[in-house]
């Protein structure tokens, strides 16, 4: 078992490029099934969730090669349409294979997906939406057997919540439907746009991605293409949080700064200087940060739930009080226990957390319980006095590629042992 050993309070400086987006590449990998041809994805991050998705693709029969952040997936030899429980339970995004498999083969069978325990995470919105397209879903003791006896037909689908995964599932599946599908109350995250860009370059006809209404005209055939995955806005937010926790100054390159509006305004409220130049962001942070008044997680373009934990760790050491309201997931304060052990002052009541900034944090042994919570403990360790040992790296490795190397390049003292 490995752990990260962080000797904190080293002022971060320097510049790095940011990895490709985990939340973009996972649905795009599922969507590679549609063409039945070869797709090449550039800027693909090497993460355990990506490796888990490759295992699913290979199980289904696809040929996948992955080296140096380039992934080639040939979905021609696909011969399976059911996914074993052990592969499904690796991660939440495996549910996107439901829409992709039905689109390609007309049927699919799989169990409930896994993922971090940050709330109940039901899939009712996915299932209801796919049913509207003509999919019959039978729940056979926890295994969903899905088929489309009369083919897939375009439909008007009003999502009860702008679920990212459900929007992706419908977009993928509707490409193979007859006629027009209109999704209202669709998720507007940049990763939705990246998936639409990939599918459109394959020959799909999707408009409105990034807006609340997405229109998909079904097409007969898609083709394999080359696509570059967008940069990871959450990995970027995590690195900036780490930098600010140390009073540092770093530049992140190869980003799309407009994807980070709500996050960057929190950094500014904390007293950081944020300089955007083309595709790079330079963050210059003060020695003592001001606490932002309120951090309220919302669907995009609001403040992302995935950045809540690292930002909380960053301002654990600050001057003032911050109110956090977590509106997306029910159990997303799993990092608070670790932060308290390091000397933070945080009280949690349901979806609200009240943070009273402290003068310093101290290093100790902490254990991650979920992906972004793991990132938060690393951020806290970077800003803490003394040594922090972070266990539970299986969570961190789901979303961050070689984080110790990236942080070391930025002047932090971080080792994996
Ligand atoms: C995606 C991201 C995740 C991010 C989240 C919200 C990926 C791989 N993961 O997750 O990092 O934190 O968006 O931005 O892209 N819900 C239901 N029923 C459903 C689906 C969702 O009740 O059928 C609820 C969820 O429990 C949650 C909320 O809707 O409370 C948002 O979930 P959703 O947007 O679907 O998140 P994911 O796609 O799972």
The residue ranking higher by pLDDT, 140 or 167, is: 167
How confident is the model over 368-384, as pLDDT tens digits?
A: 999 999 999 999 999 99
Distance 193 CA to ligand 1 centre (A): 16
Question: In this model, does residue 131 exceed pLDDT 80?
Answer: yes
Q: Name the residue of 49, 328, 350, 398 whose CB sits within 8 Å of the most ligand 1 atoms, as the mutation to test its pocket.
A: 328
What does the mean pLDDT of the chain come to?
Answer: 96
Query: By percentage, how much of the chain surpasses pLDDT 90?
Result: 93
List the residue whose alpha carbon is closest to atom 15 of ligand 1. Answer: 23
Q: What's the CA gap between 134 and 151, in Å, rounded?
A: 7
Q: What's the CA gap between 288 and 314, in Å, rounded?
A: 11
pLDDT number for residue 141: 85
Task: Indicate which atom in ligand 1 lies nearest the CA of residue 299.
Answer: 14
Rg of the Cα atoms in the chain: 21
Q: Name the residue of 21, 157, 161, 299 whose CB sits within 8 Å of the most ligand 1 atoms, as the mutation to test its pocket.
A: 161
So where are the chain's domains? 4-19+231-416, 22-228
Taking residues 332-353, what's their average pLDDT?
Answer: 97
Q: What's the CA gap between 149 and 146, in Å, rounded?
A: 10
Q: Which of 11-25, 60-74, 130-144, 392-406 has the lowest mean pLDDT?
A: 130-144
Alpha helices in 212-346 (DSSP H): 233-245, 261-269, 305-315, 336-341
Q: What fold, for 4-19+231-416?
A: UDP-n-acetylglucosamine1-carboxyvinyl-transferase; Chain (3.65.10)
Residue 44: active-site member: no
Q: Name the residue of 30, 144, 163 whose CB sits within 8 Å of the most ligand 1 atoms, as the mutation to test its pocket.
A: 163
370 Cβ contact partners less than 8 Å away, ≥ 6 residues apart: 116, 117, 118, 332, 334, 335, 395
Taking residues 124-149, what's their average pLDDT?
Answer: 93
Give the other-Cβ count within 10 Å of 393's Cβ.
21
pLDDT number for residue 119: 62
How confident is the model over 162-218, as pLDDT tens digits?
A: 999 999 999 999 999 999 999 999 999 999 999 999 999 999 999 999 999 999 999
Catalytic choice (116, 146, 173, 272): 116
Distance 165 CA to ligand 1 centre (A): 6
Taking residues 49-75, what's their average pLDDT?
Answer: 97
pLDDT number for residue 118: 61
- Under the banding of pLDDT at 50, 70 and 90, the label for residue 116 is low
Distance 109 CA to ligand 1 centre (A): 21
Task: Indicate which atom in ligand 1 lies nearest the CA of residue 304.
Answer: 14
Task: Indicate which atom in ligand 1 lies nearest the CA of residue 187.
Answer: 34
Distance 300 CA to ligand 1 centre (A): 12
User: What's the burial of 287, exposed, middle or buried (CB within 10 Å: 0-12/13-18/19+)?
Assistant: exposed
Q: Do the first three CATH levels of 4-19+231-416 and 22-228 match, i.e. the same topology?
A: yes
What b/e sequence results for 132-171 when a residue is b if at least 16 CB atoms lie within 10 Å of its CB, and e otherwise?
bbbbebeeeeeebebbbeeebbbbebebeebbbbbbbbbb
pLDDT number for residue 345: 98
pLDDT number for residue 112: 81
Distance 251 CA to ligand 1 centre (A): 30
Distance 304 CA to ligand 1 centre (A): 11
List the residue whose alpha carbon is closest to atom 39 of ligand 1. Answer: 165
Question: In this model, does residue 120 exceed pLDDT 70?
Answer: no
304 Cβ contact partners less than 8 Å away, ≥ 6 residues apart: 233, 234, 237, 262, 263, 297
CB 295 within 8 A of CB 322: yes
Distance 156 CA to ligand 1 centre (A): 21
Task: Indicate which atom in ligand 1 lies nearest the CA of residue 371.
Answer: 11
pLDDT number for residue 90: 85
Q: What fold, for 22-228?
A: UDP-n-acetylglucosamine1-carboxyvinyl-transferase; Chain (3.65.10)
Q: Name the residue of 22, 52, 121 whose CB sits within 8 Å of the most ligand 1 atoms, as the mutation to test its pocket.
A: 121
Q: What's the CA gap between 222 and 282, in Å, rounded?
A: 40
Task: Indicate which atom in ligand 1 lies nearest the CA of residue 115.
Answer: 39
pLDDT number for residue 284: 98
Q: Determine if the peptide bond prior to 301 is cis (ω within 30°).
A: yes
- Under the banding of pLDDT at 50, 70 and 90, the label for residue 352 is very high
List the residue whose alpha carbon is closest to atom 31 of ligand 1. Answer: 163
Ligand 1: lining residues by beta carbon, under 6 Å: 23, 26, 92-93, 119, 121-126, 161, 163-166, 187, 191, 304-306, 328-329
- Single pTM value for the model: 0.97
Q: What's the CA gap between 360 and 322, in Å, rounded?
A: 16
How confident is the model over 282-317, as pLDDT tens digits?
A: 999 999 999 999 999 999 999 999 999 999 999 999
Phi (first) and psi of residue 396, to 5 degrees: -60, -40
pLDDT number for residue 401: 98
How confident is the model over 239-270, as pLDDT tens digits?
A: 999 999 999 999 999 999 999 999 999 999 99
How confident is the model over 88-111, as pLDDT tens digits?
A: 988 888 999 999 999 999 999 998
């Amino acid at each position: 078992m490995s752990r990260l050993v962080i000797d904190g309070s080293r002022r971060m400086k320097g510049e790095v490029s940011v990895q490709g987006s985990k939340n973009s590449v996972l649905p795009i990998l599922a969507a590679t099934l549609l063409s039945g041809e070869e797709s090449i994805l550039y800027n693909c991050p090497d993460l355990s969730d990506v490796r888990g998705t490759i295992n699913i693709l290979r199980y289904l029969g696809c040929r996948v090669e992955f080296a140096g952040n380039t992934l080639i997936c040939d979905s021609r030899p696909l011969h399976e349409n059911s996914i074993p429980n052990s592969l499904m339970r690796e991660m939440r995004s495996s549910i996107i294979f439901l829409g992709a498999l039905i689109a390609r083969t007309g049927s699919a069978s799989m169990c409930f997906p896994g993922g971090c325990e940050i709330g109940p995470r039901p899939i009712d919105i996915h299932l209801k939406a796919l049913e509207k397209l003509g999919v019959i879903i039978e729940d056979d003791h926890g295994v969903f057997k899905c088929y489309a006896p009369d083919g897939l037909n375009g439909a008007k689908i009003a999502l009860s919540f702008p679920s990212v995964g459900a929007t992706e599932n419908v977009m993928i599946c509707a490409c193979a439907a007859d006629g027009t599908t209109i999704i209202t109350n669709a998720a507007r995250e940049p990763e939705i746009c990246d998936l639409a860009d990939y599918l459109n370059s394959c020959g799909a006809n999707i408009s409105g991605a990034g807006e609340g209404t997405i229109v998909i005209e079904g097409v007969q055939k898609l083709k394999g293409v080359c696509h570059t995955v967008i940069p990871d806005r959450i990995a970027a937010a995590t690195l900036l949080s780490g930098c600010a926790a140390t009073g540092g100054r770093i530049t992140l390159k190869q980003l799309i700064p407009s994807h980070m509006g709500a996050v960057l305004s929190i950094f500014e409220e904390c007293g950081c200087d944020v300089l955007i130049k083309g595709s790079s962001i330079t963050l210059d942070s003060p020695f003592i940060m001001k606490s932002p008044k309120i951090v309220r997680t919302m669907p995009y373009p609001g403040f992302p739930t995935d950045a809540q934990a690292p930002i909380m760790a960053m301002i654990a050491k600050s001057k003032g009080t911050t109110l956090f309201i977590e509106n997306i997931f029910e159990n997303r304060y799993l990092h608070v226990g670790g932060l308290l052990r390091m000397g933070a002052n945080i009280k949690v009541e349901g979806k609200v957390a009240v943070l009273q900034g402290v003068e310093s944090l101290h290093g100790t042994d902490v254990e991650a319980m979920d992906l972004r919570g793991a990132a938060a403990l690393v951020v806290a360790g970077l800003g803490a006095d003394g040594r922090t040992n972070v266990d539970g790296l299986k969570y961190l490795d789901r979303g961050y590629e070689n984080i110790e190397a990236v942080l070391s390049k930025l002047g932090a003292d971080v080792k994996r042992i």
